[in-house]
Each structure stands twice: as structure tokens, then as C-alpha cells.
Amino acid sequence: MRDTEDMEADAEFEEGEEPSFSDPEDFEDDTSDQELLEDILKERPQEADGIDSVIVVDNVPEVGPERLEKLKNVVHKIFSKFGKITNEFYPEEEGKTKGYIFLEYSSPAHALEAVKNADGYKLDKQHTFRVNVFTDFDKYMTISDEWETPEKQPFKDFGNLRHWMEEPDCHDQYSVIFEAGERTGIFSNDAKEAIIVEERARWTETYVRWSPKGTYLATFHQRGIALWGGEKFKQIQRFSHQGVQLIDFSPCERYVVTFSPLMDTKEDPQAIIIWDVLTGQKKRGFHCESSAHWPIFKWSHDGKFFARMTQDTLSIYEVPSMGLLDKKSLKITGIKDFSWSPGDNVIAFWVPEDKDIPGRVTLMQLPSRQEIRVRNLFNVVDCKLHWQKNGDYLCVKVDRTPKGTQGLVTNFEIFRMREKQVPVDVVEMKEGIIAFAWEPNGSKFAVLHGESPRINASFYHVKNNGKIELIKMFDKQQANSIFWSPQGQFLVLAGLRSMNGALAFVDTSDCTMMNIVEHYMASDVEWDPTGRFLVTSVSWWSHKVDNAFWLWTFQGRLLQKNNKDRFCQLLWRPRPITLLDPEQTKLIKKDLKKYSKIFEQKDRLSQSKASKELVDKRHTMMEDYHKYRELAMQMHQEQRPLRLDLRGGVDTDELDSNVDDWEEETIEFFINEEIIPIGDLA
Amino acid sequence: MRPILLQGHERSVTQIKYNREGDLLFSVAKDTVVNVWYSVNGERLGTYNGHTGAVWCVDVDWDTKNVLTGSADNSCRLWDCETGKQLALLKTSSAVRTCGFDFSGNIIMFSTDKQMGYQCFLNYFDLRDPQQIEDNQPYMTLPCSESKITSAVWGPLGEFVIAGHENGEINQFSAKSGEVLKTAKEHTKQINDMQSSVDLTMVISASKDNTAKLFDATSLDHIKTFKTERPVNSAAISPIMDHVVMGGGQEAMEVTTTSTRIGKFEARFFHAAFEDEFGRIKGHFGPINCVAFHPDGKSYSSGGEDGYTRIHYFDPHYFEFEFEG
């Protein structure tokens, strides 16, 4: 046996002894678990995980032990749809369940699904589940008890947003973009000349839009849109949406919808955003595959609903929740197009033929979803829906290829919305349709049909007795668009762009052509909101010269020609709906003669005042010019000797100064040509 | 009276000029041809043959003895008006854009284009010194370094030349010292044409900036502006009425191929004092390149891109027209 001292001294192994593999006594292991067991550690249950997967369900029936098993089964059946339930806890008190339970899933994602879908689940009449993630309780409980009053925002007074309506001479406003977009101006429409109200450089980066009731002017910028209004067109609101291209307002002006192709991500839909105009808040975002048919979301006339169509689906949302009506979309296989009635909460949509099932047009009442009318369409190729402005009529333009033929036949199916059971009348059209338009507020419609150069304009009246009468047809028209006056009765048939701006003004009360005029290369036509004036314009965006907008009366009499350097766009400011009730309107119409007299007098006064101003101005200009000419002639006279000298004494100041120098010449004039065949001379 | 149509050119007419008495009308064009016509009936008198490139300008002296033309064939030529004989050929290093006789008919000026490395020059020759012509040595030649001269006319007494430039400036160049006597910076784009009133007291400038402007010839004071929506190619002052006539057109690139406006290019008449347009005369098939009033003010002519020159005699209605006020 050796002494320990001996062992320490030995540096070498001795024969037969095993070397020691133990760590030295003061060794500290600094290799972490992470390095050694990384893959295993990943699966280590974490405290946080557990809590994130737990949901709390409230309003669970309070049951005794005899019904507990059944309750657990029902709950399990409902909640296992969202994922694997790994744990459940039914707290009890005095022999009964407390009315709330805890369920744990295998992952937090399942818990979230459960919350999303089961919250609000109606178990029975007295019990509607409320589901929350457990961690939310924590979150809400740790809210500070200290209430800090939010900082008071100073009141931004934008003044009277309807200020322009108070203009004493009832001049409507319109926006003009010119200098290729560099300048935007707002003008007041006086029949004699455009009066500038506000003009700014770079007010918008692309174009502008008015809100439907005329309260706001929306401008476009790289970072979003801005709304301007009030007397001085101050900035009222701003919406940040990078790369915004298109916008749409709800009819009540409460919401604005913006579209940008840039912003969409899978998790966070940002292509289409709906904003609350008054608060500036973002209400909801949506995906959007293509903006080809803008607006993607179509609003009901009262602004209560908005809807969009996707593959086989019609999704209807309600305000202010921005959620789906009845929490689900409508499945409509093959839906091709839809549109809201402008007068009621009714949607019209159509689906094409599907094997044995014929195509059909359906009218659906909302929010009840009741189908108030269905109309079958046989061999249909395409449909277009045209509503009359008040929703009194719907015209469905149906293109069909009848069985056994190759050609396309077009019918107009007119739905009479105000009559019981919505009867439908059919008008057959023999030629291809170029344009169709309902009379606003009326029961007439105009159609352009045929093929260039033989284009015809037909006017129809939808009568009360069930008949649709062709009132008149004008043939050989140079027109590709129809523009009705917003008040009805009058319209303009226009041949825009390639048809060189031919314009025909028609009074449809007796279908007479009031005036046929031309605005060469006109690209756009805009009626003012009252139907008194019409603007035709040549936009720089479609034609690079002669950019101007012309003002006409509703009868086709030219009032003004306004040339604007690189003029792009003119838009009338819409008017809000009248505040007068039908009784008051009737009264004013009755007294129209009296008002006419007053207005005529006013016009005559201002006319003569303008004439007088012009006369005075011209008088001054003439006087000044003649004064200048006198001085110039004086100097000219003084220089006479110099002139005579330069021309060797020959006086050339007047054409007849040198009569001696004149020569007489005989000149022949070509008068007439007569061809006489030689035979006749004999 | 129906307009007289002069068909003597196969390419666009670049300038037309009446002689002092108005019985002759000269027309030059891109087809190298120089024509002279009787203005009373449109009968062609003859041509001056020699140029081998587009002829840009023409002038005739007060006595209707000599004719001066400038061309893209890098020459300015002097001709005998009656016989058509070429009297002198002054070779230049670049195209001759504008030319003219002074009041006395003794001194000629012409400007050359900024081309092929050569600057724009304004050259003065005295015809009383045949040596200058023989040696092709102008007595004065002024370089125009900034903006080339696009059109020019003589002042009322031959003391200076009033030149319009590519940048819209108008300068008076002394014919003795060559210095710039006065400048007017009213136009914003190229000056296409400069013309004097028949008594030489005023000049009118036609510009690409869609306006024509009236100036006093001696002081270069800007007196009036006439606005249109198209570039103005040429403008002229009526000898007897307070009227000016303007002709213009659109950039060749902007004429659409689907344009069906036949015969709708118009000469436009403005009141000189009110600056308002009061009439238009249609007829050309293309933009109007030059306009000129007959010295008696009873007719006017226009030369167009279509190669035609039209002479219009005014009907009595024109002389009676008055604005309200």
C-alpha cells in the first residue's frame, strides 16, 4: 500500500493502474444546455405556451353532477372542432358548476380559432357562450387604475362646409385641372365668364374627385388622399394610404374607400381600406386582386350596406360594424355582376347558364335576403344592368345567341320596380347597342344603336299601361355617347374623341333637335348639377392641342370658350339633396313667373353693366392706342427728309405719291371656260 | 370675291412678300423654287432659278429692281427682278434663315443658322461697293453666341436691324457699329416671324408661345399682345385698318393621322387696339406658314404647309366691321 504522498509525486502511470478521468476538483462546467441539447430543448414545455392555449368560456349552464357528463360531451363536441383539447376544468361550487369553464388546446392557434368562431355561439335560449383567451384577462386586469384624461384636441373649425351653396346668384362651382396637372382651380360658373374662387399649384398629384354631396374635394398624393372643404378649402382630413390610385365615397359621405396596389400583405389586408371621414379612423382593410372594375365595393343608396363580388360569392357588409351581414357571405355560383338599386336596398345580380339550369337575373331585398323577382334568361351570352336614377326601373340588356343561330341578338328587359310583383317587359333591338341611358327622374330611355357610319338614336317611353313606346328615331347620327341632363327631359348625343366632337342637343318632351353643333375633338361632356349648363372639353390627356372647355346652355347655345394651357379635367361640384319638401317645391314652381321677372331684370342690369364696363374699357384702349399712333406718325413725319434722301428724292410715303412713275398694263383675267365640240359649230 | 389660289410649289411655302407697290407677290418654298406672281389675277410672272436647297426667305427692294433670297443650300443670292438673272451668289457656311434690303435698297443683311459647328452670324453687305460682293466679304459680320436669329427686319431708316431669336428675345443690332441698341424680352418661346408695318413705325413678332406681339420699331416698347391657343407662325399689320392677321398651326408631330379637318386651317384677324379676335378665314389644308397684307390693305395673302398660296380680296363687310363700343 502506497502513501498518498507517493501518488501525488508520481507523474507517470504505474503499471496496472487506470488513469483518472474525473474532472479536477475545481472544474466548472461552462457548456450550456442549449449547446448540448438544443434540439431536445426546443420541445421543452414553456410556461407561457400553456397559458396562451387556454380559453375561458362564460355563460355555460350551471349543472349538478347528474348532468355534468352530458354537458361535458356537448362542450367537447362544440369546441373540439377548433383543435385538440388537451385539458379541461369545470370549477364547481356547492355541487354545481360555476357557469364558466377553462379549456386548453394543444396550441395557441387553436385557442384563437375557438375565440373567433365560438364567441357568440347560442347554446340555447338562455345561454350564449362568450369565449376569450385566458391571457386577455391578465391584460385587462393590469390596466392602470389611474385614469388619465386624454389630451383635449383643439376644436378645428372648418367653417360652413356648405358655404358654396349660399352663393346668392346660384353659381355652381367646378374644379379644373390644367397645366398638365400642375395647377388646380375652383371656379364659380357665371354665364358670362368663369370666376376664379381658389387656385393652387400642385394641389393634387394626379386628379381630383368631389364627394357625392359636394362637401369635400379629394386630392391624390403619393402618401394618400386629402379632403378639402369649407369656404377657403382648408384641409379637413387626411388618409394615409401609400400609392393610392382610386377612391370611392359612400353616398352619405360618411365613409371613403381607398385603393392602392402597393400595400397588400397576406396577413394584413391593406389594398382596400375603408375610412371614417369625420374621425379619420381606419375602419377596415380588405384584399384586392385587381382594381379593374372600380368601385369594387358598391354602396347601397342609403350608405347602410356595401357589397362586393368575388368568385361565386357575394359579400354584403353593414355599417358601422364593417362586418358581414348575418356574419356570412352569400354563395351564388357563377355570379357575373351585381348592382344596387339607387332607390331601395335591393340588389340585382345575374348568373349565366350552367348545364341544364338557365341563366337568370335575380332581385334580392336586403337585409332580409328575400328574392323579390327572378327572371330566366335562355342562351344568354352577356348582361348589363342599368338602373334608372330613382330605382323606378331596371333595364337588363341581354345579349343572346338564340338556338340554331350564330348571331348575337340584344333585348332590353325592363323591370318595373314600383309595380306589384315587378312585371318585366321586353324590347327587342335589331342592331348592336352602342350606348344606353335612362332619363333621370323620368320614365324614358335613349339608345344609340347600329354601326358607324349608320348610327341611330332611338327614344323610348315606359308607359304606365304596360307598353314601352318608341317615341322617335333619328338616323345617321355622329354619336357614341348619351348625356341626359340631371333633371331629365334634355339630353346631348355626343360623338366624342374619334367622332371629332359632334354634339346634338335634344328636347325629349317632343323629341326635337334643338341644336346641332361641334366642339372639335371634344373628349368629355359634363352637365352641371342643375341641368342648366353643359361643359364640353378637350382634355390634354387625350389630345395635345386646343385644350379648352366650352360652356353651353342646355339648349345648345354657346356661352363661353375657355382656353386653358394643357387643360386636363373639369368636374362640377355636386349639390346636396334639396332641403325643401315637395310642398315647398310646388309653391316655388307655382310662383315661377314672378321669380322669372325678377331674375330677368337682374340679368339685364348685370348685362348692361358688363357691356358698359366693356365699352369703357374698349374706349380707353382705343384712345391710348390712337395716342401712341399719333406720336409715332409725328416722328415719322419728322423723318421724312431722311427718307427722301435715302431713296434719291423719290417720295414713297404714300402709294400714290409718285403718279408719274406709274405704267399702264393690260392684264387678262380668267372669267369662264366653255367647251364647244367642233361638230356643233357647223 | 373668291380667293385666288396660286399653285406653284410642290412643298411647303416658307415666305411670301409683296413689293412696295403691291402689284407683285413673291413666294419661296422648301422645293428650292422662287416664284413671282401678279397679285391682281394670280398669273405667274416667272421663277428665279439657281437655289439647290429649301429657300427660307425672300425680299425685294423698294424700287422692285432687285430680289434677295436665302436658302438652306448655304447661299444668299441677289437677282434682277425683271429678267430673273442671278446677279450675285454669296456663299455661307450654314443655311441662310432671314434676309432683307434696307430702306434705301443699298444695304442687305442676312443671318445664318447655327449649324454643323458654325455659329449664327448676322452679315451686312453694302451693294454700292461691288468689291464686297466679289470677295464675299461683308463689311460687318456679327456673331450671335447666345440664341440664334430666327427672323429679322430692318428698322425704319436703315440704322438698325430688329431681330427675333430662338429664345424669344428681340434685339436691335446697329447696322453701323453692330452693338445691341435695345432689347425686348417679352416672348417665352422662339420667334417664328417678324414683320414691319408699311410705314415701318411698328413691328409685329409671331412666336411659338401662342402669341403675337406688337412693338414700336424705334423704342421696342411692347404695345399689344394677341393670344391664341396654337403656335403663331406669321403675323402682319394692316396698312389701313387697326387690324393684324395671324397664321399658325400645330407641331407636325401633334397632327393626328385621323384628323379629318379638310381646309380648316385658318388665318385669324385681331383688332389691334382691343387685342380681340374678330374673324377667321379658312381654306388651307395645313398650317399657315406666312401671311402678308397687300400694301393697299384691300387684300391679304397666306402661304401654307400645303404648298399653296392664297390671295384674298376683302369684301366691303370687312372694312365696315366695328366692335360694339
pLDDT digit string, tens, across residues B213-245: 999 999 999 999 999 888 999 999 999 999 999
Residues of chain A with C-beta less than 8 angstroms from the C-beta of B218: 635
Residues of chain B with C-beta less than 8 angstroms from the C-beta of A621: 273-275
Burial B210-235 (b: 16+ CB within 10 A, else e): bbbbbbbbbebebbbebeebbbbbbb
Specify the pLDDT at position A15.
53
Of B41, B258, B275, Cβ closest to residue A498: B258
- CB of B216 within 8 Å of a chain A CB? The answer is yes
Inter-chain residue contact A614 with B40, CB threshold 8 Å: no
| Most B CBs within 10 Å, among A564, A647, A661, to test the B interface | A647
**Banded model confidence at residue A12, pLDDT cuts 50, 70, 90:** very low
**Banded model confidence at residue B196, pLDDT cuts 50, 70, 90:** very high
Check whether A38 has a pLDDT greater than 70.
Answer: no
Q: B39 near B293, Cβ under 8 Å?
A: no
Q: A459 near A443, Cβ under 8 Å?
A: no
- Identity at B215, one-letter amino acid code: F
pLDDT digit string, tens, across residues A343-396: 999 999 999 988 888 899 999 998 899 999 999 988 888 999 999 999 999 999
Specify the pLDDT at position B173.
94
Of A520, A635, A669, Cβ closest to residue B41: A669
Which residue, among B105, B95, B122, has the nearest Cα to B59 in the 3D structure? B105
Q: A339 near A387, Cβ under 8 Å?
A: yes
Closest B-chain CA to A669:
B41
Residues of chain A with C-beta less than 8 angstroms from the C-beta of B296: 655
- CB of B316 within 8 Å of a chain A CB? The answer is no
Inter-chain residue contact B261 with A635, CB threshold 8 Å: no
A196: distance to nearest CA of chain B, Å? 20
Closest B-chain CA to A645:
B104
**Banded model confidence at residue B295, pLDDT cuts 50, 70, 90:** very high
Closest B-chain CA to A544:
B254
* B68 bridge partner residues: B59, B78
**Banded model confidence at residue A17, pLDDT cuts 50, 70, 90:** low
Residues of chain B with C-beta less than 8 angstroms from the C-beta of A660: none
Specify the pLDDT at position B290.
96
pLDDT digit string, tens, across residues A161-214: 888 888 888 889 999 999 988 899 999 998 888 889 999 998 999 999 999 999
| Residue A667: φ, ψ to 5° | -120, 145
**Among the listed ranges A111-125, A168-182, B28-42, which one has the minimum average pLDDT value?**
A111-125
The DSSP output letter for A341 is -
Residues of chain B with C-beta less than 8 angstroms from the C-beta of A618: 273-274, 323-325
Of B157, B229, B323, Cβ closest to residue A563: B229
Check whether A652 has a pLDDT greater than 90.
Answer: no
Check whether B28 has a pLDDT greater than 90.
Answer: yes
Q: A315 near A308, Cβ under 8 Å?
A: yes
Distance CA A315, CA A286 (A): 12
**Among the listed ranges A178-187, B28-37, B168-177, B252-261, which one has the minimum average pLDDT value?**
B252-261
% of chain A exceeding 70 in pLDDT: 90
Inter-chain residue contact B158 with A646, CB threshold 8 Å: yes
Closest B-chain CA to A630:
B201
**Banded model confidence at residue A435, pLDDT cuts 50, 70, 90:** very high
Closest B-chain CA to A562:
B229
Residues of chain B with C-beta less than 8 angstroms from the C-beta of A544: 254
For residues B254 and B57, the model is more confident at: B57
Residue-averaged pLDDT of chain A: 86
Check whether A570 has a pLDDT greater than 90.
Answer: yes
Check whether A243 has a pLDDT greater than 50.
Answer: yes
Inter-chain residue contact B41 with A668, CB threshold 8 Å: yes
Closest B-chain CA to A563:
B229
Specify the pLDDT at position A132.
87
Inter-chain residue contact B21 with A615, CB threshold 8 Å: no
| Residue A34: φ, ψ to 5° | -55, -40
* Residue A234 parent element (H or E): strand A234-240
Q: A97 near A63, Cβ under 8 Å?
A: yes
Inter-chain residue contact B325 with A652, CB threshold 8 Å: no
Specify the pLDDT at position A8.
44
Q: What is the mean pLDDT of residues A233-248?
A: 90
Nine-digit cell at A364? 334580392
The separation between CA A109 and the C-alpha centre of its own chain, rounded to angstroms, equals: 38
Check whether A4 has a pLDDT greater than 70.
Answer: no
Residues of chain B with C-beta less than 8 angstroms from the C-beta of A647: 62-63, 103-105
The separation between CA A141 and the C-alpha centre of its own chain, rounded to angstroms, equals: 44
Check whether B257 has a pLDDT greater than 50.
Answer: no
B207: distance to nearest CA of chain A, Å? 16
Chain B window 137-176: which residues touch A at a Cβ cutoff of 8 Å? 156-158
| Total residue length of chain B | 325
CA distances (Å), origin A377, targets A380, A400, A432: 6, 9, 19
Distance CA A435, CA A455 (A): 11
Q: What is the mean pLDDT of residues A539-544?
A: 90
| Total residue length of chain A | 682
Q: What is the mean pLDDT of residues B141-162?
A: 92
Which ranges of A464-555 would DSSP assign to H, the alpha helix?
none
Q: What is the mean pLDDT of residues A581-609?
A: 85
| Most A CBs within 10 Å, among B196, B225, B274, B280, to test the A interface | B274
Q: What is the mean pLDDT of residues A11-28?
A: 63
The CA-CA-CA angle for residues A646, A647, A649, to 5°, reads: 105
Inter-chain residue contact A646 with B40, CB threshold 8 Å: no
Distance CA A284, CA B287 (A): 57
**Banded model confidence at residue A50, pLDDT cuts 50, 70, 90:** low
**Banded model confidence at residue A2, pLDDT cuts 50, 70, 90:** very low
Residues of chain A with C-beta less than 8 angstroms from the C-beta of B160: none
Q: A44 near A36, Cβ under 8 Å?
A: no
Specify the pLDDT at position A13.
46
* A275 bridge partner residues: A256, A282
Which residue, among A258, A270, A198, has the nearest Cα to A229 in the 3D structure? A198
Q: What is the mean pLDDT of residues B191-206?
A: 95
A428: distance to nearest CA of chain B, Å? 35
Inter-chain residue contact A668 with B201, CB threshold 8 Å: no
Inter-chain residue contact A618 with B323, CB threshold 8 Å: yes
Distance CA B56, CA B69 (A): 8
pLDDT digit string, tens, across residues A263-280: 666 666 788 899 999 888
| Most A CBs within 10 Å, among B229, B232, B241, B278, to test the A interface | B229
For residues B258 and A193, the model is more confident at: A193
* A424 bridge partner residues: A415
Q: Which residues contact A241 (CB under 8 A, 6 or more apart)?
A: A223, A224, A225, A258, A260, A263, A270, A273
Q: B297 near B238, Cβ under 8 Å?
A: yes
Specify the pLDDT at position B258.
42
**Banded model confidence at residue A397, pLDDT cuts 50, 70, 90:** very high
Q: Which residues contact A292 (CB under 8 A, 6 or more apart)?
A: none
Residues of chain B with C-beta less than 8 angstroms from the C-beta of A669: 41
- CB of B323 within 8 Å of a chain A CB? The answer is yes
A600: distance to nearest CA of chain B, Å? 22
Nine-digit cell at A650? 423719290
Check whether A499 has a pLDDT greater than 90.
Answer: no
Inter-chain residue contact A615 with B158, CB threshold 8 Å: no
| Residue A241: φ, ψ to 5° | -150, 95
Distance CA A251, CA B91 (A): 75
The owner of cell 357647223 is A682
The CA-CA-CA angle for residues B136, B141, B143, to 5°, reads: 130
ipTM at complex level? 0.89
Of A545, A563, A636, Cβ closest to residue B201: A636
Inter-chain residue contact A628 with B40, CB threshold 8 Å: no
Closest A-chain CA to B210:
A565
pLDDT digit string, tens, across residues A277-331: 988 889 988 888 776 788 889 999 999 999 999 888 999 999 888 888 888 888 9
Residues of chain A with C-beta less than 8 angstroms from the C-beta of B254: 544-545
Nine-digit cell at A391? 330605382
Check whether A604 has a pLDDT greater than 90.
Answer: no
B226: distance to nearest CA of chain A, Å? 14
Q: Which residues contact B75 (CB under 8 A, 6 or more apart)?
A: B51, B89, B90, B91, B92, B96
Inter-chain residue contact B62 with A652, CB threshold 8 Å: yes
Specify the pLDDT at position A292.
74
| Most A CBs within 10 Å, among B7, B21, B257, to test the A interface | B21
Give the residue numbers in A contacting B (CB under 8 Å), as ranges. Answer: 498, 500, 520, 543-548, 563, 611, 614-616, 618-619, 621-622, 624-626, 628, 632-633, 635-636, 639, 642-643, 646-647, 650, 652-653, 655, 667-670
Closest A-chain CA to B198:
A653
- CB of B240 within 8 Å of a chain A CB? The answer is no
Residue-averaged pLDDT of chain B: 90
- CB of B136 within 8 Å of a chain A CB? The answer is no
Check whether A651 has a pLDDT greater than 50.
Answer: yes
